[in-house]
């Protein structure tokens, strides 16, 4: 598997080869150097923006299985308007989901956080602030933000074990912070993009079509469209032979 160290090692060897050939007068090496730079930057960018890549952090993003099982995850809550509806739907279907909660929302809605725990769901770390520039912070600042969320989760009698990076973006600073936090990073195999969706039927159809054995599905419990389609999604998935299991069965 490609990782940050391997990509940089291979690129360094290619750069060295290009420079040596340039010194010896082989002008075509300029083009090879440009291509190497483009590929190097491209691989590092792919690693940063695709949480499944494993370039910086090895994350759990699916389970390798032929069994029709999947995990439901919800980001960015708890949310006073839509989390209760989602909890009721999950209760109806007797499903245990994983909620990647933002610390400041836990702070704002402690009763709702307690209700998530009471109903048998997993609460996981999604940073304290979910800051827009989180990915550019120094690793110690990232760690403080992650630990602030973990502290709030512990107040509800839960020891956090799982972490999902904001926007799914990873980099060397975050890798260092996550290692220090001793949390396991979780990605997804299906990104619903419910934060951008406007057509409930289209969203429902899209996620159903992408459902595969071992899927980890990313929804948001602060979106009205998610509360709107969730019952239908679970019902159709179950009709197709799927069952939803706690994330602990994938870890």
How many CB atoms within 10 Å of residue 118?
Answer: 10
H helix count then E strand count, the chain: 9, 8
Q: What is the pLDDT of residue 17?
A: 78
Choose, from 121, 145, 220, 221, the residue flagged as catalytic: 220
Choose, from 75, 76, 194, 221, the residue flagged as catalytic: 75
Contact 61, 165 (CB under 8 A): no
What tens digit of pLDDT does each residue of 126-180 get? Answer: 999 999 999 999 999 999 999 999 999 999 999 999 999 999 999 999 999 999 9
126 is catalytic: no
Give the residues of the chain that fall short of pLDDT 50: none
220 is catalytic: yes
Which DSSP helix (H) or strand (E) runs through 125?
strand 122-125
The number of residues in the chain equals 251
**CATH classification (class only), 69-249:** alpha beta
Domain ranges for the chain, please list them: 4-49, 69-249
């Amino acid at each position: 598997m490609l990782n940050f160290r391997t990509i940089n090692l291979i690129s360094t060897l290619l750069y060295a080869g290009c420079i040596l050939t340039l010194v010896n007068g082989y002008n075509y090496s300029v083009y090879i150097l440009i291509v190497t730079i483009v590929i190097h930057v491209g691989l590092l960018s792919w690693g940063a923006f695709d949480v499944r890549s494993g370039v910086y952090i090895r994350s759990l993003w699916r389970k390798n299985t032929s069994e029709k099982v999947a995990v439901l995850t919800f980001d960015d809550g708890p949310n006073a308007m839509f989390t209760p509806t989602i909890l009721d739907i999950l209760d109806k279907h007797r499903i245990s989901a994983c909620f990647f909660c933002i610390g400041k929302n836990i702070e704002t809605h402690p009763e709702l956080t307690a209700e998530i725990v009471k109903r048998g769901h997993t609460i996981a770390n999604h940073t304290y602030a979910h800051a827009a520039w989180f990915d550019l912070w120094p690793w110690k600042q990232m760690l403080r933000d992650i630990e602030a969320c973990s502290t709030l989760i512990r107040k509800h009698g839960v020891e956090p074990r799982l972490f999902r990076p904001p926007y799914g973006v990873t980099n060397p600073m975050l890798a260092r912070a996550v290692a220090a936090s001793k949390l396991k990073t979780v990605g997804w195999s299906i990104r619903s993009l419910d934060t951008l969706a406007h057509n409930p039927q289209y969203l429902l159809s899209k996620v159903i079509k992408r459902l595969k054995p071992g899927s980890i599905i990313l929804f948001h419990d602060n979106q009205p469209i998610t509360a709107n389609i969730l019952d239908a999604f679970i019902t159709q998935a179950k009709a197709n032979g799927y069952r939803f299991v706690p994330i602990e069965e994938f870890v």
